[in-house]
Structure 1
Amino acid sequence: MSIKSFGPLLTSLAFLVAGCQESGTTQRDVADARENVREEQQDVAEAKRDAQEQVADEQHDVDAARHEANKPVLDDQADATADAQREQADVTEAQADAQAAIQEEQADVTEAKKELQQTEAEFQATQNRDAYVQQVQQKLDAADAKINELESRADNAENEGQENVTDAQIDQLKAQRDRVEEALDDMKSAEILRWQDHQENVKLAVQQLDRLMNEIK
């Protein structure tokens, strides 16, 4: 196997390595976001249970204080009534604290759901972008194969004029191939939800590459 024939293989390997390094969102990221929502929802449920228990405890103290206040002991009745009022205030405070805790946990659930939606959108965008990248990479591989073919033709040219023509075609094709790769790299490095903003530049570069591939026989 000649050194030139390694070109497409090396390009494909480089693409696979680069693909592992590209920014994007994976199925694992989506699963983690869903798990985060589930955990936050559990926190809300626990906060509600804790609130019910705390309010119940305070209410029990109120009932006990009222019971003491209702006993027919005149000397202690005023103190017992005051105790009952304080216990009732504790119940009100416990209810307010419990409601605040529940609202805080519910806010966390809302935020987790937003993050999940964002993650799912990024994951879908990653899949769409990577599918398009593979299509363009096939174009690059075809160009590499054509360049190898032309280089072999130049090496076996019967005269200098024919070799010069082939060399010029090689230079043209290599230059356009590099433009496609540069546009593709720019698109891959973009924020994942904005990758399509850079797709048009890639499409134009690919169209010009296709035209050259069709012209060069």
Structure 2
Amino acid sequence: MRITARRTLLLPSTALLLCTALAGPALADDETPSQASSVSAQTDDSIVNTAPPEEPEEDVTDVPDIDVNKEPEGPGEPKPLPGDMPAAVDCAPAHGVYIPTKKGRQYHRAVGPKNSNYNGTSRTAKSTFTSEVTGEVGVSVSTKLDVSIGAFLAKVKEKFEVTVSAKITAKMGNSISVDTPSHKTTHAVYGVWRLKTTGTTYWLHANCTNTPHKNVVSYSPYRVGWYLWES
């Protein structure tokens, strides 16, 4: 017998007692099984982890909607110094620069509440979870970029040969089924996997001088999916 856990944002997470059911493999309908060594790097929705999803290690801020398609404003042109030769070098027009340097792991950001099923029987039972909330997840950064989000995403794609997005929507109605061992609780959250990348950003003036380089850590939407763990 199967019991489906259904939650909304208005309800707290609770544990449901599962009836006995035969064990069997359970995979997300649109996923292909794969293996990964790190808990937060798991991209196969059916893998049951041993701990909740990890949070970003850095203090990051969501990029506001108003900035997603807007070119950032530069700090202005530097004042000429005595002895400067006008037009000696030319990097016009002044523009922002982003250089990606390192690709990290994938981190899961939940949309909606955590769901939990407790199996109080003496046999393995099936847990089925269904997302009941639609939500949008965007890019988060540790410091303000000196380029637009579009330029930033293009550089990440070019450097690491991956496609990340400015925003991804996780929709209600997606379901997944997994096995819950006897006297164990399976937890599930639905949301968006985001790729961590590290790079530098700065503003290049028309006379080819630049502002100080800033290190920036970013988390960019990669795909929609589940994160499961057991306790």
TM-score bin (small chain): under 0.3
TM-score, scaled to structure 1: 0.25
- Higher relative contact order at CA 8 Å, sep ≥6: structure 1 or structure 2? 2
TM-score, scaled to structure 2: 0.24
Larger radius of gyration: 1
